[in-house]
């Protein structure tokens, strides 16, 4: 069936097509008119009908109106025009689509701004290491059972990693395993797993300023979140420490006390 074929309903609509173009013509009517104009068979009949209607309408407009009645209609506010309500306008699919698109754009923009606001030097690497934490299995780490704070000497002695110190807030926690690996972005990363809440610690070099080569510093504790994992991050002596667990920021807050959000 041709897309331009007129249904019975559309034929009925074309018989009462608007004589002159009106701003709020129904969509079905517009489609019916379009199809009638496109089909060779109906196009001629429709053209005759429109010419007929225009001629009759012109004659109707020429029907004399008494001056008394004409005077009434000089006041344009005599018959209030029905305004299109905002509710009706809001239900228009076009308006709905635009509103939805704007809402999505605004959402993405706000999300971007919020992420920017919570960014700090090394936050990108910290987020990446959260995904590493999520995918790490217990057998990937060398079993080490000691206090987390005691591993600083181990890292220095075995791997020559200076200042890879676990902060005092987490130093007393018992470890289950650890490892050191190289990451393209983070450099040499020390990973420690602790028994409590299946928490993991990461130690890695801080980002360095391209101009002077000095570590880019930030104060206090910062938080990062990624795919259901949360991390509390601190920088000391050019090394970043991150404690992370599966959960939210509020699960880490008791450990770091009144850390800066």
Partner 1 sequence: MTGHAAKAQEVFQATLREAALRAAHDQPPKDRLWFFRDARWRCLIVAEQGLQAESGHLEGTEIAPHAAAQIGHLHPEQLAVWISAAPDPQRSALAAYYLDEFSLREMLTLLEVKAGELSVLVSSGRRQFQAWLDATTPHYEDEA
List contacts with partner 1 (CB under 8 A): 9, 12-13, 15-16, 18-20, 22, 24-26, 29, 45, 48-49, 51-57, 59-64, 66, 68-69, 72, 79-82
- Of the pair 56, 95, the CB lying nearest partner 1 is at 56
- Of the pair 12, 110, the CB lying nearest partner 1 is at 12
Looking at residue 208, the DSSP 8-state letter turns out to be B
Separation between Cα atoms, residue 221 and residue 29, nearest integer Å: 65
The least distance separating partner 1 from the CB of residue 57, rounded to whole angstroms, comes to 5
Separation between Cα atoms, residue 234 and residue 192, nearest integer Å: 16
- Of the pair 54, 236, the CB lying nearest partner 1 is at 54
- Of the pair 62, 94, the CB lying nearest partner 1 is at 62
What token pair was written down for 17? 């097509």
The least distance separating partner 1 from the CB of residue 90, rounded to whole angstroms, comes to 19
Separation between Cα atoms, residue 199 and residue 191, nearest integer Å: 11
The least distance separating partner 1 from the CB of residue 30, rounded to whole angstroms, comes to 11
> How large is the angle between the packed helices 40-61 and 27-38, nearest 10 degrees?
120
The least distance separating partner 1 from the CB of residue 16, rounded to whole angstroms, comes to 5
Among residues 121, 123, 137, 111, which one has the least CA distance to residue 231? 123
């Amino acid at each position: 069936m041709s897309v331009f074929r007129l249904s019975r309903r559309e034929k009925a609509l074309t018989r009462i097509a608007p004589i002159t173009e009106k701003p709020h013509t129904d969509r079905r009517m517009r489609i019916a008119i379009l199809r009638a104009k496109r089909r060779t068979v109906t196009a001629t009949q429709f053209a005759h009908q429109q010419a007929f209607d225009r001629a009759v309408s012109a004659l109707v407009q020429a029907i004399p109106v008494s001056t008394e009645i004409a005077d009434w209609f000089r006041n344009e506010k005599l018959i209030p025009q029905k305004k299109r309500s905002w509710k009706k306008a809001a239900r228009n699919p076009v308006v709905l689509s635009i509103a939805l698109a704007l809402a999505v754009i605004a959402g993405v923009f706000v999300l971007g701004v919020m992420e920017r606001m919570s960014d700090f030097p090394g936050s990108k690497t910290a987020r990446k290491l959260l995904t590493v934490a999520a995918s790490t299995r217990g057998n990937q780490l060398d079993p080490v059972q000691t206090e987390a704070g005691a591993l600083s000497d181990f890292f220095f002695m075995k791997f020559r990693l200076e200042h890879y110190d676990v902060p005092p807030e987490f130093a007393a926690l018992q470890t289950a395993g650890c490892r050191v690996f190289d990451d393209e972005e983070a450099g040499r990363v020390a990973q420690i797993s602790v028994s409590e809440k299946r928490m993991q610690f990461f130690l890695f070099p801080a980002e360095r300023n391209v101009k002077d080569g000095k570590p880019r510093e930030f104060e206090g504790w910062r938080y990062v979140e990624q795919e259901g994992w949360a991390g509390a991050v601190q920088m000391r002596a050019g090394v970043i420490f991150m404690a992370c667990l599966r959960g939210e920021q509020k699960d880490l807050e008791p450990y770091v006390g009144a850390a800066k959000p």
